[in-house]
């Protein structure tokens, strides 16, 4: 039998102005947010798709 854990947990989403092509700036920003949210006991953090390098669809 599979046991399912139904305990509540905190989740957050991070939305920010992604710097196109600037991986270092994007990573620095995300790591600071993860650090802050982890101190608030957030266990699931959602990030934008392609957050690390950005994406320009043309």
DSSP letter assigned to residue 31: H
Whole-number pLDDT of residue 56: 62
3-state secondary structure of 28: helix
Tell whether the torsion through CA atoms of 17, 23, 25 and 31 is positive or negative. positive
pLDDT band at residue 58 using 50, 70 and 90 as cut-offs: low
- State how far the Cα of 32 lies from the Cα of 17, in Å rounded to an integer: 15
Q: Specify the pTM.
A: 0.77
């Amino acid at each position: 039998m599979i046991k399912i854990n139904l305990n509540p947990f905190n989740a957050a989403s991070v939305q920010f102005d992604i710097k196109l092509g600037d991986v270092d700036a994007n990573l620095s920003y995300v790591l600071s947010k993860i650090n802050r949210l982890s101190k608030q006991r957030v266990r699931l953090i959602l990030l934008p798709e392609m957050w690390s390098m950005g994406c320009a669809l043309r």
